[in-house]
Each structure stands twice: as structure tokens, then as C-alpha cells.
Chains A and B, each alone.
Chain A
Amino acid sequence: DAGVTQSPTHLIKTRGQQVTLRCSPKSGHDTVSWYQQALGQGPQFIFQYYEEEERQRGNFPDRFSGHQFPNYSSELNVNALLLGDSALYLCASSLANWGDTQYFGPGTRLTVL
């Protein structure tokens, strides 16, 4: 049973650039959530996708956008990168019903120079 996978593992970008992170959900899951985890902090919710639409969004600027594909995989895009965007980006998958547990991938570590 394949778990949540994310790519790439690490990424280095410079300020002002754009980045795309990818996530494949656990087999059987249809909902994908994205979280940002700054160093020494707990993860912060960015947004959640279900049926190819953004279902819920946290307190992040419009520079953060996403997409979900028909196979339930998802992308997180960040435009105009800032130094403060350096963090571990975690993807979590679950079923659509409210009571389901979210399972996380290994994360993508983004460094903005």
C-alpha cells in the first residue's frame, strides 16, 4: 500500500522565482492538504483540495496556489518567492469525509536564497 509521496525532496531557489511542489496521495484517498512548517514550528495549514477544487484555505497570500488533478495528485505553486518562504512543505492525504485522519508525506524542504 503506497503512502503519500512528494517531490522533489529538496529544492533551492532565489528570491523572486517561482516553484512547484508535487504530491501523490495515499492509495484510495481523494483529498489533499498542504502545510508549511517553518524551522522550529508546527505545521501551518495552507489549503485543501477535493474534486479538483480548493475546498478550504488558511491564512496565506495569493502567491500560494494549488491544483488537483483527476487522479487526485496535487501541486503547490509559490510565486515571487521570499526568504520567509523557506520551510518544509508537507502534503497530507485523506478521505473527503470530515472524520478521516490525514496521513503525511515526507515533505519537500525549500530553501530560498
Chain B
Amino acid sequence: AQKITQTQPGMFVQEKEAVTLDCTYDTSDQSYGLFWYKQPSSGEMIFLIYQGSYDEQNATEGRYSLNFQKARKSANLVISASQLGDSAMYFCAMRVTGGGNKLTFGTGTQLKVEL
């Protein structure tokens, strides 16, 4: 079975600063994918970034980057130049090859961006 752990229930960051949201995972599968989603108060889960277990480079998408450390089984999300609109819940999720196409989610981190 696979597991995602997000140990930061809440985080604060000042506007224009960078913030790192932590995610560790546990799986015995060698082939897997890691995702980050953003969930505003409206409820919709918005896809941010993806990292495959065999990808050698860390994924980047605009202001989002994924700090992937395979040996430590961590997949931290880094948001650069935070904006007020970044305030939301952030979920880390995993999909493993042997698990079909289902996603396993962590419990999330509530991020608040302050002026």
C-alpha cells in the first residue's frame, strides 16, 4: 500500500516570498508518479505539477517547482514569489504503476499568503 504524509497542517508566507510545502511518500513500487494539487475554498482541485519516479530533472511549472529527493522519498512543492491568490489547501498525491490510475492523497497543507 502507498501512503502520503504532509506534516504541515498550516503555513504562512509573506507576499513575494518563496515557500516550501513538505510531502513524503511511502511505496514499495519502483514506478510511480507524484502530483501536487491546489484546492481553493471553492472546492475544485487544480493540478499544479507532476514528477515521475524516473525523471532525473526536478519538475517546474511557472512559479511552481517540485524538489524531488528519491532516496529520502520526499517531493516538496516550492512556490516562488507568493501571491495572495496562492492562499488555498495544497495536496500531495501519488499514483503507482501497480495501483491502476487511482490517486492516493495526503491530508493537505493550508497556505495563507499575507501582505
CA distance A71 to B51 in the complex (A): 31
List chain A residues, Cβ under 8 A from B103. 33, 35, 43, 45, 92, 102
A72 in contact (CB, < 8 A): no
Contact of B101 with A104 in the complex, beta carbons under 8 Å = no
* B62-104 Cβ-contact flags toward A at 8 Å (1 or 0): 0000000000000000000000000000010101010011111
Contact of A33 with B43 in the complex, beta carbons under 8 Å = no
List chain B residues, Cβ under 8 A from A101. 35, 47, 50
List chain B residues, Cβ under 8 A from A66. none
**Total interface residues in chain B, CB < 8 Å:** 25
List chain B residues, Cβ under 8 A from A103. 47
A31 in contact (CB, < 8 A): yes
Contact of B101 with A98 in the complex, beta carbons under 8 Å = yes
B14-69 CB contacts (< 8 Å) to partner A: 33, 35, 37, 42-47, 50, 52
List chain A residues, Cβ under 8 A from B43. 88, 90, 106-107, 109
Contact of B104 with A45 in the complex, beta carbons under 8 Å = yes
Contact of A42 with B107 in the complex, beta carbons under 8 Å = yes
Task: Decide yes or no: A31 and B50 within 8 Å by CB, A41-B107, A42-B108, A106-B44 being known contacts.
Answer: no
Partner of A45, one of B4, B45, B97, B102: B102
Contact of B45 with A90 in the complex, beta carbons under 8 Å = yes
Minimal beta-carbon separation of A92 from chain B (angstroms): 8
Contact of B33 with A42 in the complex, beta carbons under 8 Å = no
Which A residues are closer than 8 A to B by beta carbons? 31, 33, 35, 40-45, 48, 55-56, 58, 88, 90, 92, 94, 98-107, 109
- Could you pull out 29 A-B pairs where Cβ atoms are within 8 angstroms? A35-B103, A41-B108, A42-B105, A42-B106, A42-B107, A43-B45, A43-B91, A43-B105, A44-B105, A48-B102, A55-B100, A56-B100, A88-B43, A90-B43, A90-B45, A92-B45, A92-B103, A98-B95, A98-B97, A98-B100, A99-B52, A101-B35, A101-B47, A102-B101, A104-B47, A106-B42, A106-B43, A107-B44, A109-B43
